């Protein structure tokens, strides 16, 4: 299940980083008229008017949208949904990513594009239903390389559970290989 934004960073962490809690940011944004603003305008307001770091501004914006504008957990600003899962695979970064890519390609076909030289190497697929998959390899740890699969452009909340199950299956195949 996808968690609500408020269940991520706790109030102490948010206050330490931004000077306010979730409730205080919601009240401030409501008073500023943000109930009628889109995602980009809210985030820009937080950065430009309140000096909030961009990463925290995104989280505050999503929390506000979920609490005050009806945005559902897992829902993106464009109205579609996304799910993501991460597992640690053995091996170096590009080897772990190649293992994951092979597992995904076995189910959905060859990727549309990749950028293996990026700071976070990524491989992407466009699926026939217009949804998208992205596989990334994070910085290696002592136990291996965390790899992430994200399924984006899921049309509705009801389809998220099936997408999550498919991500888990693809990651399971990668772990087994």
The 10s digit of each residue's pLDDT in 18-75 is 999 999 999 999 999 999 999 999 999 999 999 999 999 999 999 999 999 998 888 8
* Per-residue model confidence (pLDDT) at position 2: 54
Total domain count, the chain:
2
Residue labelled with tokens 């897992």: 74
* Domain co-membership, 88 together with 166: yes
**Two structure tokens written together for 12:** 């102490």
* Per-residue model confidence (pLDDT) at position 13: 87
Sequence-separated (6 or more) residues with CB below 8 Å from residue 51: none
Picking from 108, 130, 132, the residue whose alpha carbon sits closest to that of residue 122 is 132
* Domain co-membership, 90 together with 165: yes
Give 144's DSSP letter.
B
Report the percent of the chain where pLDDT is more than 70.
95
Residue 75 in domain: no
Main-chain phi, psi angles of 136, to 5 degrees: -130, 155
Q: Which domain holds residue 63?
A: 5-68
Residue 63 in domain: yes
């Amino acid at each position: 299940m996808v968690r609500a934004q408020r269940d991520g960073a706790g109030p102490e962490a948010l206050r330490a980083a931004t000077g306010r809690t979730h409730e205080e940011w919601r009240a401030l944004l409501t008073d500023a008229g943000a109930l009628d603003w889109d995602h980009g305008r809210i985030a820009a307001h937080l950065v430009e008017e309140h000096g909030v770091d961009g990463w925290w501004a995104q989280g505050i914006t999503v929390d506000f949208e979920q609490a005050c504008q009806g945005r559902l957990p897992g829902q993106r600003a464009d109205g579609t949904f996304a799910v993501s899962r991460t597992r640690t695979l053995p091996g170096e970064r590009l080897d772990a990513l190649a293992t994951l890519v092979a597992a995904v390609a076995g189910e959905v076909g060859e990727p549309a594009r990749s950028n293996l030289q990026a700071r976070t190497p990524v491989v992407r697929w466009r699926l026939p239903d217009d949804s998208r998959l992205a596989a990334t390899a994070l910085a290696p740890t002592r136990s291996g390389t965390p790899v992430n699969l994200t399924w984006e452009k899921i049309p509705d909340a009801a389809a998220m559970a099936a997408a999550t199950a498919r991500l888990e299956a693809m990651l399971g195949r990668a772990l087994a290989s």
